Structure formats: structure tokens, C-alpha cells
């Protein structure tokens, strides 16, 4: 539990640093309240709000990532036991990784990694 205590102290100190910065800013900046300004559009007025459903054309990559990322979580504990278990641990893990990698190559061939 000592680690978590130290981490908590760290978070408090780091947050305090940010608070002090904001406080100093309050005192020395030329205006206390934030300026309300239009978003920068090369000198034009905005015609709509920018927050919108953004077209993420790399959507397919996120799925590929998710598949791999689940696997990676298993690799952390795996790294600790490889030396004890030996070759079978390596074969099993890399066999699985090879399957995933084939998936990556397939996605690549299908053009999922390019979107422009």
C-alpha cells in the first residue's frame, strides 16, 4: 500500500503545481476572465459548431488494434513465466501472434491501413 500512498502524494503535489500556475496566471495576466473569441477560420465567421460526428476513416484500424491489444494484456504475465515454462510458452504465444499477424497482412492487402 505504500506505493499507492506515494502515488497519491504525487498526484496531489502535481495538481498543486498546476493550481499554482493558474493562480499566478490570475495575478499577472492582463485579464482575469478568459477572452471569449470565435474559433480561428482564417478571418471568416463560423457558420456552425465544430463538434460533430467526425468521419474517422481509419475505423478499420481500431478493430485491428482491439484484437491485438487484448492479446498484449496476456503478454505481460507471459513475459514473467517464459523462462520457467520454456519452449512451449514461446511456441504457443508466437503461434497465436502469427495468426494475428496474418490478420494484419490481410487487412493491409485490403487497404485498411491506407485511407488517403
The footprint of another protein on residues 76-105 (CB under 8 A) is 76, 79-80, 82-83, 86-87, 89-90, 93-94, 97, 101, 104-105
Residues near 103 by beta carbon (within 8 Å), at least 6 away in sequence: 64, 67
Binding-site size for another protein (CB under 8 A) equals 75
- Whole-angstrom distance between the N-terminal and C-terminal Cα of the chain? 50
Q: Give the x/- contact pattern for another protein in 20-59, rule: CB under 8 A.
A: -xx-xx--xxxx--xxxxxxxxxxxxxxxxxxxxxxxxx-
Residue 59 CB, nearest distance to another protein (Å)? 10
Minimum CB–partner distance for residue 36 and another protein (Å): 4
Quote the DSSP letter at residue 30.
S
Contact residue for another protein among 1, 68, 95, 110 (CB under 8 A): 68
Give the sign of the dihedral formed by CA 75, CA 81, CA 82, CA 86.
negative
How many CB atoms neighbour CB 96 within 10 A?
Answer: 13
Amino acid at each position: 500500500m505504500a506505493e499507492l500512498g506515494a502515488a497519491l502524494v504525487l498526484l496531489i503535489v502535481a495538481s498543486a503545481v498546476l493550481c499554482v500556475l493558474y493562480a499566478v496566471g490570475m495575478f499577472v495576466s492582463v485579464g482575469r476572465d478568459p477572452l471569449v473569441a470565435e474559433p480561428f477560420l482564417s478571418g471568416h465567421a463560423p457558420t456552425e459548431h465544430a463538434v460533430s460526428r467526425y468521419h474517422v476513416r481509419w475505423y478499420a484500424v481500431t478493430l485491428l488494434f482491439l484484437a491485438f491489444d487484448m492479446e498484449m494484456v496476456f503478454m505481460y504475465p507471459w513475459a514473467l513465466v517464459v523462462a520457467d515454462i520454456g519452449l512451449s510458452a514461446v511456441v504457443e504465444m508466437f503461434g497465436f501472434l502469427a495468426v494475428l499477424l496474418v490478420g494484419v497482412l490481410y487487412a493491409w492487402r485490403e487497404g485498411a491501413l491506407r485511407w488517403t
